[in-house]
Chain A
Amino acid sequence: MFENVMAGVEDALDWWGGLCLFAGRVVRESFRRPFEFVEILKQVFEIGWRSTPLIILSGVAVGGVLSLHTRASLERFGAESMIPTALAFALVKETGPLVTGLLISGRVGAGIGAELGGMRVTEQIDALESLAVNSFNYLVVTRVFACVIAMPLLTVVMNFSGILGSFFAETVVSGTSFTYYFNAAFSSLGFSDFIPPTLKTAVFGFIIGTTSCHLGYNATGGAQGVGRASTQSVVLSSIFLIVGNVVLVKLISFLYTGSGG
């Protein structure tokens, strides 16, 4: 029994150690030639541009639903006029970044885990190496970079779509005009409300990219191993992202208000 527990602890430490070394290697290799600019652009297109429809649709839906819930709450206090501002704050500061992160860890995390896992078990990664290509640089660094670049951009799209969705919901109920709604939404938002939460999603991108690349790049065990890498990529990057978000929110609060709370 004790031996089993110790073996489990050893495996867990081994896995965590592997992930940390992998993340360290990503950072180290980022500064090493050759810089794969073309491949990074290709991945930004795959990860970023191809995720845009999902982000817009989800943004509009989340914004619409948030608006309906907020109206129901604020109506009780006669504070309906606060809806655009409250929603803009909620979306820009937390909901937008977190929902974008979770959606991307689902779509992109699974994709990267399956793609690299498939390449590993079919010897395509070995083939790359045999063709004198640094496979880590070519496959991993480019994908992590693309995630880091794409996440803030997608978050901006999500925020804007969310506000648009909330406007649609609001205008159906109260007939609010577009100009009024957007003026009210953005008038009280400052750069300090917008920049840190948006930039923190670059860290989300690093978490998603690194976790899913680690699982895919080191996949073993044939088709089953590829499936496992894909599923674990989504589950683990989502968990790391949610936990990482707590730390980042605390850090941003500390840096911007000096209070940490």
Chain B
Amino acid sequence: MTTNAIEFAGVSKAFGKRAVLREVSFSIAAGSAFVLLGRSGTGKSVTLKLICGLLKADSGTIQVGCRDITKLESNDLVETRKKMGFLFQSAALFDSISVGENVAFPLRRNTTAPDGEIREKARALLEKVGLGEEYDSLPGDLSGGMRKRAGLARALAVEPEILLVDEPSAGLDPITSREIDELLLKVKTDSKVTLVVVTHNIPSARSLADRLAFLDEGKLLQEGTAEELEQSKHQMIRDFMKSQQSG
């Protein structure tokens, strides 16, 4: 029997009078890759932030592992987040410290390893994402794709059980975008991490996802495999899947 890493049950979220998610329910099996699709502004990134506890749901429950994240106090939330990695759309690297120190940051905060070991691990992670030479560079000196890769290295630093990825190919050229996808695929195959990815890029979604979900106007329209979504009864989903076949 497969266990669920994440379970949404009747989750709603609004900002002021604007409802972003309405009674959304789905579950993600541990160790699987789940891709959230949908047009811009349909609540995909909000869903990721809800999983991480960066936003509070207005109603419903969000089970992460064996804990309902909507009911956790700040200290327990911190403990739960230690098992998660988050790659932000903008990479969100800390711009006042070097790329290497960005990657070392979660290790310094959440482990008791000695400084030399932390630096070594940060360097190894940067090498893994192809940025071995950039340890001392500042984030501002990197290109968009390099920032994403550095962000991924930072998200992987604490060997998370759940990796949340927001728009990995946004603003990147097709080649760099494919490189990021390959890195994510490698992460997926090399570890038992549960991957939750928000993307508009259908080829990217196909290569990564075990299951996909399509959000529209805050509602979960359909969930299934890529093939199931291609033959959806909803015209919008079929169009969405077709329109970006090439990329």
A interface residue numbers (CB < 8 A to B): 118-119, 122-124, 126-134
Stretch at the interface among B87-95, B130-138, B177-185, B227-235: B87-95
Find chain A residues with CB under 8 A from B95 CB: 118, 122, 124
In chain B, positions 73-93 with a C-beta closer than 8 Å to chain A are 74, 78-79, 81-82, 84-86, 88-90, 92-93
CA distance A37 to B106 in the complex (A): 17
CA distance A123 to B79 in the complex (A): 21
Determine the residue in chain B with the shortest Cβ distance to A126.
Answer: B54
Residue contact A127 to B86, C-beta cutoff 8 Å: yes
Residue contact B90 to A132, C-beta cutoff 8 Å: no
Find chain B residues with CB under 8 A from A124 CB: 92-95
Task: Please judge, given known A-B contacts A126-B49, A126-B54, whether A131 and B106 are in contact too, CB under 8 Å.
Answer: yes
Residue contact A130 to B86, C-beta cutoff 8 Å: yes
Proximity bits, B28-39, A CB within 8 Å = 1, else 0: 000000000000
| B186 CB to nearest chain A CB (Å) | 22
Question: Quick check: is B240 within 8 A (CB to CB) of the other chain?
Answer: no
| A28 CB to nearest chain B CB (Å) | 11
Given contacts A122-B92, A130-B81, A132-B109, 16 further A-B contacts (CB under 8 A): A122-B90, A123-B90, A124-B92, A124-B93, A126-B86, A126-B88, A126-B92, A129-B52, A129-B53, A131-B86, A131-B109, A131-B110, A132-B81, A132-B106, A133-B109, A134-B74
Q: List 16 A-B contacts (CB under 8 A).
A: A123-B90, A123-B92, A124-B92, A124-B94, A126-B88, A126-B92, A127-B93, A129-B54, A129-B81, A130-B86, A131-B109, A131-B154, A132-B81, A132-B158, A133-B109, A134-B74
CA distance A226 to B234 in the complex (A): 42
Proximity bits, B165-189, A CB within 8 Å = 1, else 0: 0000000000000000000000000
| A103 CB to nearest chain B CB (Å) | 23
| A194 CB to nearest chain B CB (Å) | 37
CA distance A123 to B158 in the complex (A): 20
Find chain A residues with CB under 8 A from B81 CB: 129-132
Residue contact A130 to B54, C-beta cutoff 8 Å: yes
CA distance A133 to B81 in the complex (A): 9
CA distance A86 to B105 in the complex (A): 53
A123 is contacted by which of B53, B74, B88, B110 (Cβ under 8 Å)? Answer: B88
Find chain B residues with CB under 8 A from A118 CB: 95
B78 is contacted by which of A123, A126, A127, A132 (Cβ under 8 Å)? Answer: A132
Find chain A residues with CB under 8 A from B74 CB: 134
